[in-house]
Amino acid sequence: MNASPSQPHPAEWTETQGLLPSVERDLPAGRHQFHKEQMMVRIREDLRTTPVVPARRNPFLRRAVLLPALACALAGAVVGGLALTGGGDGNTSLATGPALTTRIGAADAQGADRLLDHISLAAADTSEPAVRDDQFLYIASKVASTYPKTVDDRTTVVSEKLHSRQVWMSPDGRNGWLIEPGNTSEDGITLAGPNPPSSAYHRLARLPTEPGALLRKIYQESDANRDPEVPRDQAAFVAIGDLLTESYPPANLTAALYKAAAEIPGVVAVDDAVDAVGRHGVAIARLDEQSGQRTEWIFDRKTYAFLGERNVQVEPSETFKKGTVTFTVAITRRAVVNEMKEVPGRAG
């Protein structure tokens, strides 16, 4: 599935005035993380070689754990498109802005099935290149997040500047590379490891493409491994979103994922949503009633191509005001390349 991006322009965020102080707590549900084993190896390596920035979160924790083991079993090491608020190279320039906010689009429970049907048909009709074992899957995105930051016992809500992220992953998932300025060194970090993530292309290709069987597998993994504070249906919805974002699922699996999502209770259509680079589209979404955040998958209005994802606080919480965008990603390029760190159109 290809993003087919339009010309990027700044996302339509407004600055929140008079930020309320918040208690120090972990990020809300509705976000994800790297494959646990690979993540911990990289964290230990990073701590040995780089200074620690106390006020910033670890650069390799991508969206905070919603369903830890399900991320390992289904979503894998590279999911969702965001390394949180790093500082692995000592750079503290990213998380300095006020909270990102947005207009909340109207939700339509009756329109979700119809919209997902259109999206599924468009995904199934998407042509995709053959992927050789010696090639790499390349995904470029623009990302940002909002979170509570505590310095000297004072907590404020801050946001990263929108920044670029590039990932390369071998089809078997055993080799890969991440470059995300501010959250990795300039040259990036390896994603290689002995245990390939389940978001690897080869593993995705082995998942069932019958929507019912696929959804049963997602629920099975979720029930066994999800955070007990996360509602069962929300965990399944987020797991599907992980597989749609920073991975390269075959077209038939992508179509099946959308059909499976239509069977999850609480899924709605949203009339207007904006991705990280300002592209307006329609969205498929689900509200996590515990956190008050709505996870939105954003699609082009005409082609139904997947544009990106965001988390929006639709009900005010102890930490975030209504309308706060806690996470946003826009997929700007997916491609198959021949070499690690090769950028489509030029030498890597």
Domain assignment present for 189: yes
In a domain, 200, yes or no: yes
SS3 category, 297: strand
Q: How many domains does the chain have?
A: 1
Binned at pLDDT 50, 70 and 90, residue 96 comes out as low
pLDDT in tens, 208-241: 999 999 999 999 887 877 888 889 999 999 989 9
Whether residue 345 is contained in a domain is answered as no
Per residue in 298-341, pLDDT (tens digit) is: 999 999 999 999 999 999 999 999 999 999 999 999 999 999 99
What is the Cα gyration radius of the chain? 19
Out of 2-11, 47-56, 106-115, 176-185, pick the least confident: 47-56
User: What is the DSSP track for 272-292?
Assistant: EEE-TT--EEEEEEEEETTTT
pLDDT, the chain, mean: 76
**Any domain includes 9:** no
Contact 129, 336 (CB under 8 A): yes
- Mean pLDDT is lowest, of 87-91, 162-166, 191-195, for 87-91
Q: What's the domain range around 279?
A: 14-337
Determine what percent of the chain is predicted with pLDDT higher than 70.
71
**Phi (first) and psi of residue 6, to 5 degrees:** -85, 180
The pLDDT value given to residue 97: 64
Question: Over pLDDT 90: what percentage of the chain?
Answer: 54
Q: Which of 248, 246, 223, 245 is nearest to 234 (CA)?
A: 223
Q: What is the mean pLDDT of residues 18-34?
A: 32
State the pLDDT at residue 34: 29
92 band by pLDDT with thresholds 50, 70 and 90: very low
